[in-house]
Structure 1
């Protein structure tokens, strides 16, 4: 069955979103440290932690945290000159950042949510190293909202204010290296109700929420500052959390591929039931592969490793069945094995291959008593890893008999996903006793103007065309645009420079990130006032980007970008025309285009193009 054959209503597709957005506050959520990211090379010291799961207030340990803790890893943290004791978990957290709380309330108003009477901070157990404490601090701020989509309204279940996790830098021999500069940045998590019934509606809902978030003007922009999780299930499947979707463009493909995966798994379970399939106990089959030509298996054995295998009764032909593009049931088994340190698995649906011979496959089947209807999966690694990995394969194979297991999956860039961990439960939450409750007052904040409303206003008030108005409104510099226009700068000039010109310079590898609002404000004032021709804007901004310590006036003087008089323009144009007298005599106004470029080059961007054009036409007409 292809994706085009799916009737999502008939399948009972239900989906919901969790949107995680960093807030652009001056300081972090529970301390006064800055919220800017730095390069790992800027770290000035490191420290390590080993994390273990704790019981909730009900005395339970979360399954996801328990599985994570079974992987023995050391976590190394890169700290900076601004890193404080709160970030290192050597001091209790401070009070909740006021700016973050106010921004969260603004977002809640845009989604028609009800702000809670009292905000209480909770601890959410996380032992994957992404937080030095072993938990993430989170608090419910608002609930029960709604957004509109073309497929109908989508309810907003809740909005949490949380601290961002550490940034993963690299895998190490002993574990994982993280950077602390991202830890503690305020983050809102917005969860929709399961009202989404198609891949297209999922994408549209995410786009709508993204627009509302950016309407505040108080959220961070750029790669990694917003992440989407998508919860997907079909009637005969199970709830799956697709974690870490980086791009809105990926959401509909991820939903389609997850629906396909669940449809395939349900079909596989039905066929396994008809075959009366079962999963046997694992066995050591190291002897089968003595002297093997397989590089993977031989390498493991040469290092003192072992080969563990399991007979999957009735699984023949199904382990290799594709359930997502380029991903099979065997890939699912392999994902689970990898969680325990193995490099992957082999299975008989793909063998003989990878140096494993036909005779070795025959001997392997005999060793585990596998018949023609059976499949065999095997792991080659050090003895402990091989045992743990094959047990993980056994567990996943047993769930294949039942259908679709509930789990959290890692969203991949190709629109597919892989197993990450079990679906977390309520046992991961318990109260934070170090931070006092907050009683928010929604009357203290105003509802921001929507970006869609801003676009309409720019068109009506400033005469911008719809495309340019949308670029400015959805861009990051609209506050500067509004400020300079209020000071009298032409709106079309300001919009064109802040959007089109900066984009062109960025494509030409000009370091525009070095340009401050002051640089841009001064440049626009000089151009609007006629002190610098519009043709000189790119040269001026390039000079400022390359030497940010200069003022705009200093850059104009150094680059010689000041305007020229009308007499100087006519003198330069006359010289060009006389130099090309024969061409003018032969072509008349047909020579205009070529001579215009030559004139602008002679004036080096110091004159306005309209002025040069007018003078050039006059001089050509005199001679024609």
Structure 2
């Protein structure tokens, strides 16, 4: 929206659900490692068809029903690091105690009160991401709070749950999942709806992320943390937008959802002023398009049908924008796609897509559309096409009355698309295979509270002399543990300083990556070996980039074994002195003219000869000494 938005006036309510994978050695209910594999390494696969089950009260969750409108085949890739529990062919073992310890430490950071008994539940999920058809989850603690610049944000609940399988490929009728991710433990943290603006949402997510990383026990990288954003405005509806992976996207997600709801309310007002309505009949218009040049319709005519519905009073409104690049017609299309179709046509955008003006006129006449009426059309297999039109009629009726509560998928541009209705209570029921866990006061009090990253950065600046920028950079880096190991090992070393370590593992490595070097092959052990030979004086710190570049090409070789090959073995000081004396003799006139200022220009020549072999400070001191001797003779 171009105008400045007053989110308080609009009645914005916003809350976050943050899902963070935990970095435990084993998965949640088995001994398998929490390692992500390349799908080429899969040594076994199987498939399933999933159906929703009724709750103990005999009710079936509407979100689960929506997910099974299309009969899909789910294919699972297994590995030598997955087991029968991931395959759902063996009951789960007891809850991994390391997972509980990590989750409780997070609860402490958020000032939460844990339950006395942890009971595992089953949450129905039939989109194929769980082989069992449900996800195991447990309520752990509640009543927390987080301080922000806009006041306190309540932390409603923290749950521990198992991660779902990773979707590899969606072919429409079948979906391929990888089982390496299934069962990795995660925490779900839900805030109260205390967030008052898009920027406040980002700040809150950033602070929770900082607390999580402070434990040193959460996974890092793309896909390891996901934010779901719950948003509503006055007269609007609660919408859950799932799968927001980038922190920087949260502000835009909130802004765009508010924009969508404001625009949908305006469209509703305009439609009602027109006395718009929904005509329930689904028209078979296949014969009207027998000779069409539209490629989409021609493909469907071979095996399917073309159906249309009439929306009296909707003309000009189906094409109205609700988010940048997305229109009311896109909302209709999203609903239609739940039946498996690729999309829809509507008369606000026709003639187009190979459909001629004459065909549009014939279509409008056939369904009895007036100039203020819109016609929606779909072409696909008969069952899919009819299901799509039924979904469009439902969404069109909603457009006249209210904004529907629903679960939406966050898109990379900050918009969102319909996924399914909001789930209800009937999707949860007790897990009978996992015993309850007692959480005594003594056990909870024994869990240590981690040092916050913000405090750790201040400590690093004070103890190691790091400037604020480098201290912040390393505490938020994935290499924090490596830094702490290295600084502990070389704390008394005059050459291997904290600044050198941070600049190497954050700056030099990034530069090498930009140059196309495969830095993923450089391990923590390589850094330890490299700094060891620098500390011992075998090689100068100026050789760091050269060593790392070579290590990436020869990762199986010890760093010390590479030194001679790289020409980095130590140089006798007599050779250095001889080189500098010769240089001074050749540049006498220059030195006489510049005096002590000649050191800088000549240092480049000395470094060119001995870079990486001798520490730069040593070379500089020798050069200054020889120039001063010449000037004083």
Q: Same fold (TM over 0.5)?
A: yes
What's the CA shift for 1:484? 2.7
Q: Which moved more, 1:211-220 or 1:584-593?
A: 584-593
State the partner residue of 1:384.
Answer: 383
State the partner residue of 1:456.
Answer: 458
State the partner residue of 1:470.
Answer: 472
State the partner residue of 1:613.
Answer: 620
State the partner residue of 1:559.
Answer: 566
State the partner residue of 2:507.
Answer: 500
Q: SS of the residue aligned with 2:26?
A: coil
The alignment status of 1:298 with 2:336, answered yes or no, reads: no
What's the CA shift for 1:566? 2.9
Query: Residues 146 and 154 of structure 1 are in contact (CA less than 8 Å); yes or no, is this contact kept in structure 2?
Result: yes
Deviations 1:220-252 (A, max 9, x none): 000100000000000110000000001000000
- Within a 5 Å distance, the mapping from 1:339-418 to structure 2 comes to 339-418=338-417
Structure 1 residue runs of 5 or longer lacking an equivalent are none
What's the CA shift for 1:109? 0.4
State the partner residue of 1:23.
Answer: 22
What's the CA shift for 1:556? 2.8
What's the CA shift for 1:290? 2.4
The alignment status of 1:14 with 2:20, answered yes or no, reads: no
Deviations 1:410-438 (A, max 9, x none): 10010101111111111110000000001
Q: Which moved more, 1:290-299 or 1:566-575?
A: 566-575
Q: SS of the residue aligned with 1:144?
A: strand
State the partner residue of 1:230.
Answer: 229
State the partner residue of 1:288.
Answer: 288
Provide the rounded CA distance (Å) in 1 between the counterparts of 2:398 and 2:582: 85
Q: CA separation of 1:296/1:527 partners in 2, compared to 1, >3 Å: closer, same or farther?
A: same
How many matched pairs?
Answer: 622
Q: SS of the residue aligned with 2:237?
A: coil
Deviations 1:553-607 (A, max 9, x none): 2233443323334323223344556667787677777776554333323224111
Q: SS of the residue aligned with 1:279?
A: coil
Deviations 1:299-318 (A, max 9, x none): 322x1322111111111111
Provide the rounded CA distance (Å) in 2 between the counterparts of 1:608 and 1:4: 60
Deviations 1:270-303 (A, max 9, x none): 11111111111221112222211222222322x1
Q: CA separation of 1:611/1:307 partners in 2, compared to 1, >3 Å: closer, same or farther?
A: same
Query: Residues 75 and 176 of structure 1 are in contact (CA less than 8 Å); yes or no, is this contact kept in structure 2?
Result: yes
Structure 2 residue runs of 5 or longer lacking an equivalent are 492-496
Query: Residues 319 and 329 of structure 1 are in contact (CA less than 8 Å); yes or no, is this contact kept in structure 2?
Result: yes
Q: SS of the residue aligned with 2:231?
A: strand
Q: SS of the residue aligned with 2:303?
A: coil
CA RMSD of aligned residues (A): 2.0
The alignment status of 1:528 with 2:535, answered yes or no, reads: yes
State the partner residue of 2:494.
Answer: none
Deviations 1:512-551 (A, max 9, x none): 3223322222322332343321101222233333323323
Q: Which moved more, 1:323-332 or 1:609-618?
A: 609-618
Q: Which moved more, 1:597-606 or 1:387-396?
A: 597-606
What's the CA shift for 1:389? 1.1
Provide the rounded CA distance (Å) in 2 between the counterparts of 1:532 and 1:184: 46
State the partner residue of 1:447.
Answer: 449
The alignment status of 1:272 with 2:271, answered yes or no, reads: yes
Q: SS of the residue aligned with 1:299?
A: helix
Query: Residues 72 and 172 of structure 2 are in contact (CA less than 8 Å); yes or no, is this contact kept in structure 1?
Result: no
Query: Residues 540 and 561 of structure 1 are in contact (CA less than 8 Å); yes or no, is this contact kept in structure 2?
Result: no
Provide the rounded CA distance (Å) in 2 between the counterparts of 1:589 and 1:351: 80
What's the CA shift for 1:67? 0.8
Provide the rounded CA distance (Å) in 2 between the counterparts of 1:131 and 1:574: 74
Q: SS of the residue aligned with 1:188?
A: strand
Provide the rounded CA distance (Å) in 2 between the counterparts of 1:173 and 1:505: 41
Provide the rounded CA distance (Å) in 2 between the counterparts of 1:563 and 1:221: 39
Provide the rounded CA distance (Å) in 2 between the counterparts of 1:353 and 1:452: 56
Provide the rounded CA distance (Å) in 1 between the counterparts of 2:190 and 2:142: 9
Q: SS of the residue aligned with 1:278?
A: coil
Q: CA separation of 1:566/1:259 partners in 2, compared to 1, >3 Å: closer, same or farther?
A: same
